[in-house]
Chains A and B, each alone.
Chain A
Amino acid sequence: MKKYAYFPGCSSSDGGAKAYGQSTQAVCKVLGVELIELEDWNCCGSTPYSTVEELASFCLSARNLALAEKEGLDIVTPCSSCYVILNRTNAYLKQYAHLKAQVDEALAAGGLEYHRTARARHLLDVLVNDIGYDAIAAAVKKNLEGLKVAPYYGCQLVRPRFGFDHPENPRSMDMLIASLGGEAIDFPMKARCCGGSLIISEEDLSLGLIGRILNSAISRGAECLITPCPLCQTNLDAYQSQVNKRLQANFKLPILFFTQLMGVAFGLSEEELGLRSCIVPAEKALAKYL
């Protein structure tokens, strides 16, 4: 059994993306992946934090990495944003001695030290590379044959480059969908930005970006869309009716976490996967497989 320090991040633990955390646990159980939640983890350091208080952000991030290092485990997170921040901290602590000195001093104030040995991985990377497509295909109980799925990667899973998948034309979820028996549709917006947290401060701008993505996926025949990011899911799902109003469109595209789709193919129940938390209902698109 493979073991990891699990870092759910704020959204997937108990926030708006609780279903992501839930379906992550359920799917990992099926695949024999042991997730040990990092005790007393804090906010990853987050993009908002890093933009206005850079050093504090590195320290928030380093505390989590130091806690995982103590356990001797790599961190795995289902959140693309946490993934970038944790990796960026590791990369920059290595590259900039003055930054490392400052972070070390701050950590010491809390009785911690960090030696940069904890790797930060995204859940998708762990599932498709450590476990592998073959093992995933072997766990399928309900083949998703005939289901057209848009693999929406967003930004921070693949950019900047932390060594996992192509930054502009990623394929890992395309292959994941195929190993579940479904059909991955190709759409040009698959790695473009959903607006991220600017949905809060610059709603109009973000609605435009969300509309572009939905339009691109639907016009290529998608029946549902999967994402590896809590923020992308919330933007595309919870704001879909706002987008419809603004663009006078009638989009009704179910937006799932990739773990929810895996769970459906593994024959897990709607409850275990938190499918009812989808605001655009997914039951109709998935009826054949539930």
Chain B
Amino acid sequence: MVDKKRADSFIQGICAFPGGEGIRQCIQCGTCTASCPNAERMDHTPSELIAMARAGMKRQVLSSNAMWYCLSCYLCTVRCPRGIKLTDLMHALECLAVREGLSHGRTLTPAMYRSFNDFVYSLGSLPEVGFMTWFYMWTNPLRALRMLPVALRLLRHGRLKIRARRLSPEGTNQLRAILDRVETLGGAG
């Protein structure tokens, strides 16, 4: 049974994200699912996920691995006959999953995004080496070992730089002030 009230509040939460409001327009044609290069890996396809969200299945939707397999290739977005920005909708679900503490445990993608953001917050730009090393060591040091050949190849071709690019002290302070204010604003949704 669909709990109307619960469904409404979940949908409203999704609609608060830019692009999220498209969820009301879906006609369940399945074009997004058919276009997705990763649909077969998802525990629920994109169109299923939309139907579930509209049925108020908040917990099942937000603990799904589906949106974490979104590659942001935007193929679904350009093909949707209703003009739904599905990629942004997936991002909205990812944001909500993180906010509710439900980010999915069986994929490392949320952890990867999180460590990416921590680096950008502290440095203003992304030092790829530091980021990847830290991510592998944190999630699975054995994978770090397996990735060693790739890292060495990059190093040999002058593509790994150890020292990170930094903004000027003024730039760093400005960026921090902006991002700290974002914290108090509480996010787009």
Contact = CB atoms under 8 A, between A and B. Distances in A.
Contacts of A84: 72, 74
Contacts of A167: 74, 78
A239 B19 CA distance: 34
A1 interface: no
Contacts, number: 206
A160 B74 contact: yes
Nearest to A93: B18
Interface residues of B, number: 69
Interface in B113-134: 113-114, 116-117, 120, 124-128, 132
A105 B184 CA distance: 11
Nearest to B37: A193
Interface in B141-189: 143, 149-150, 153-154, 157-161, 165, 167-168, 170-171, 174-175, 177-182, 185-189
A236 interface: no
A47 B94 contact: no
A216 interface: no
B178 A48 contact: no
A67 to B, nearest CB: 9
Contacts of B153: 238, 241, 279
Interface residues of A, number: 69
A285 interface: no
A192 B187 contact: no
Q: Is the interface of B mostly helix, strand, loop or mixed?
A: helix
A3 interface: no
Given A42-B125, A43-B124, A16 B160 contact: yes
A13 B163 CA distance: 13
Given A155-B72, A277-B157, A205 B41 contact: yes
Interface stretch (B24-32, B52-60, B85-93): B85-93
A11 B117 CA distance: 15
A276 B153 CA distance: 12
Interface stretch (A68-76, A106-114, A134-142, A255-263): A106-114
A201 B108 contact: yes
Residue from A19, A53, A96, A239 with most neighbouring chain B CB atoms (10 Å): A53
Nearest to B180: A109
A255 B101 CA distance: 40
Given A160-B78, A197-B112, A56 B179 contact: yes
A8 to B, nearest CB: 10
Interface of A: 10-11, 13-19, 40-43, 46-56, 58-60, 63, 84, 92, 95-96, 99, 102, 105-112, 155-156, 159-161, 167-168, 192-193, 195-198, 200-203, 205, 209, 238-239, 241-242, 276-279
Ordered nearest first, which 5 A-B pairs have the shortest CB separation?
A40-B171, A159-B74, A193-B73, A109-B181, A201-B108
